[in-house]
Structure 1
Amino acid sequence: MNYTLHQLLVFLKITQTQSITKAAEELHLTQPAVSIQLKNLQDQFDIPLTEVIGRKIFITDFGKEIAAAAEKILNEVHAINYKTLAYKGQLIGRLKITVVSTGKYVMPYFLSDFLNQHPGVELVLDVTNKSMVIESLKRNEVDFSLVSVLPENMQVESIELMKNKLFLVGNREHQYSGELHDNSILEEVPLIYREAGSGTRQIMENFIKQNNMRVIKKMELTSNEAVKQAVIAGLGYSIMPLIGIKNELSNGDLQIIPVKGFPIQSIWNLIWLKNKSFSPVATAYLKYLQQEKSKTIQEWFGWYGQF
């Protein structure tokens, strides 16, 4: 047997995501690179680790046993690294955070200095939609979660990071005047929605419901980037978080349409389970946020107040 730690890591990620494409995205590798690592690992076993039916990959019972063993091996490797750093007096361990998809434009800026100060801390950051974020928190699989809509029927504590502003946006094909439009404009334009379970969609639907609107739902897409590209291509309009469209506004691909009642505002909150027992790393990070939050906002999000 000549399998490598990298092969085990790739295979474990495939079993967790049930997808070569998603595993590649989370490991920041190309799909061919992930497929090659899977093949190299499979070549060392006579029993299949996976099987493909249609276009979907399934993990065999034997593959699940190998994945469980791989996880134990990788955890032991992490433990060795942590012990080495501990002898040097460094803060060590994993910081696990789940983030709603649009939160990927926010969370890295509240992490970078902390991670630079503590090289012994390993970050595990999962970006997904709100329903999956809340589920991981509910199962106590993570230290913190970043959301723009607080979960209902769940006891959590939180720290506010910054405002989340959402605007009606379109591409540049039709030039709107600078005058403030009545919110009935939402009933006149085809709207592009995020998928069910998205925090952005929930905020959007709440606004439409509160104002008793009958809107034209053009399509539903599963990521903020997909919505953005569809709007740029002229397929419709959408209510989007400002945080994710800065570059497109600057280069003229998108325009904010001034509408009464906008921006819709929520708050980016970092949340955790009430009475959770924090690791030393999680405790240190929470303290860091409380002390450095304002500085981070001023340094990275000063432009935000212009809108």
Structure 2
Amino acid sequence: MNYTLHQLQIFLKIAELGSITKASEELHLTQPAVSIQLKNFQDQFAIPLTEVVGRKLYVTQFGREIAETAERIINEVNTINYKTLAFQGKLSGRLKISVVSTGKYVMPYFLSGFIKRHDGLELNIDVTNKLKVIECLEQNDTDFALVSVLPEKLEVNAIELMENRLFFVGSSSLRFDKPPTKKKLFEELPLIYREHGSATRNAMENFIENNRFSNLKQIELTSNEAVKQAVIAGLGCSIMPLIGLKNELKNNDLQIIPVKGLPISTTWNLIWLKSKKLSPAALAFIDYIDTEKDAIIKDKFDWISSY
């Protein structure tokens, strides 16, 4: 046996994702490079680690057991690295944060200074929809989550970061002969929604329901960026978080259309399970947020106050 740590890491990722393509994307490697490393790793075992059925890759029972062992080995190696850094007087460990998709416009700015101070930390940010973020938190698979709506069924601690405002937006090419009524905007124009489970979609649906509008022209897209590009292209209008529209508003690609009752205002919260035993890195991050939050908001998000 002469397998390498790199091969263990690659095989573990393939086993987790069930795909060479997805593993190569997450590891930032080419697909051929991942395939070669998988073959080199497989060649060291007389029993198959994977099999292909109907063009889909499956990990065998033996492969799953090897993946479990690989995970333990990699965790032990990480522990060695973290302890080495700790003895050198550096904060070490891994910080994992799950972020709802629009939160990608927020969270990096609250992390940048902290990571620069503690370059021995390993950072993992998972950007996904609200349902998956809450599921990840519930399964204790993350240190923190960034959400704009607090979960109802979980006991969490929370730090309020900043306001999140949602406006009705349309393409800059959209013109009206006179100020449009709510009814015209929400019943005659196509509306673009996020996918089910999105906090932005929930806010949009609640607004429409409370105003008793009946919209039949609906388009559903699965990310904030996709919705934004569709609005710019003139496919329809939407209610969107201001935080992700800075450049588009500045470049006059989008316009905010005034609507009575908007913007909808929520709050970005950094949350974690009350029952979670936080690592030294996680505790240090909480202290950093408490100390630096106001300065970060003033420096990076002052533009929001002009809308």
Mapped pair 1:58 → 2:58: yes
User: Residue 302 of structure 2 corresponds to which residue in structure 1?
Assistant: 302
Residue 275 of structure 1 and its aligned partner are, at CA, apart by 3.8
Residue 290 of structure 1 and its aligned partner are, at CA, apart by 0.6
SS in 2 for 1:162: strand
One-letter amino acid of the counterpart of residue 294, structure 1: D
Q: Deviations over 1:12-38 (max 9, x none)?
A: 223323344543443344555544544
User: Residue 120 of structure 2 corresponds to which residue in structure 1?
Assistant: 120
Equivalent positions of 1:125-204 (< 5 A) are 125-176=125-176, 179=179, 181-182=181-182, 185-204=185-204
Which whole-Å CA distance do the structure 1 matches of 2:258 and 2:31 have between them? 42
Which whole-Å CA distance do the structure 2 matches of 1:181 and 1:36 have between them? 61
TM-score by length of 1: 0.90
TM-score by length of 2: 0.90
Which whole-Å CA distance do the structure 2 matches of 1:94 and 1:39 have between them? 30
Change (3 A) 1:33 1:234: farther
Contact 1:165 1:266 in 2 (8 A): yes
After TM superposition, the structure 1 stretch with the greater mean CA deviation from structure 2, 238-247 or 97-106, is 238-247
Residue 107 of structure 1 and its aligned partner are, at CA, apart by 0.6
After TM superposition, the structure 1 stretch with the greater mean CA deviation from structure 2, 102-111 or 196-205, is 196-205
Structure 1: 5+ residue runs without aligned partners?
none
Equivalent positions of 1:104-115 (< 5 A) are 104-115=104-115
Change (3 A) 1:270 1:189: same
Counting matched residue pairs gives 307
Contact 1:144 1:270 in 2 (8 A): yes
After TM superposition, the structure 1 stretch with the greater mean CA deviation from structure 2, 145-154 or 166-175, is 166-175
Contact 1:158 1:271 in 2 (8 A): yes
Which whole-Å CA distance do the structure 1 matches of 2:73 and 2:200 have between them? 39
User: Residue 13 of structure 1 corresponds to which residue in structure 2?
Assistant: 13
Which whole-Å CA distance do the structure 2 matches of 1:57 and 1:177 have between them? 57
Residue 157 of structure 1 and its aligned partner are, at CA, apart by 1.4
Q: Deviations over 1:114-143 (max 9, x none)?
A: 111112221121111111111111111211
SS in 2 for 1:260: coil
Q: Alpha carbon RMSD of aligned pairs, Å?
A: 2.3
After TM superposition, the structure 1 stretch with the greater mean CA deviation from structure 2, 55-64 or 146-155, is 55-64
After TM superposition, the structure 1 stretch with the greater mean CA deviation from structure 2, 19-28 or 208-217, is 19-28
Contact 1:131 1:197 in 2 (8 A): yes
Q: Deviations over 1:226-259 (max 9, x none)?
A: 2222223332222221222222222233222222
Residue 205 of structure 1 and its aligned partner are, at CA, apart by 1.5
Change (3 A) 1:59 1:202: farther
Mapped pair 1:71 → 2:71: yes
One-letter amino acid of the counterpart of residue 163, structure 2: K
The percent identity for this pair of structures is 64
Contact 1:131 1:198 in 2 (8 A): yes
SS in 2 for 1:64: helix
Change (3 A) 1:247 1:10: farther
Residue 75 of structure 1 and its aligned partner are, at CA, apart by 0.7
After TM superposition, the structure 1 stretch with the greater mean CA deviation from structure 2, 22-31 or 68-77, is 22-31
Change (3 A) 1:236 1:259: same
Structure 2: 5+ residue runs without aligned partners?
none
Residue 194 of structure 1 and its aligned partner are, at CA, apart by 1.3
Which whole-Å CA distance do the structure 2 matches of 1:49 and 1:194 have between them? 39
Mapped pair 1:291 → 2:291: yes
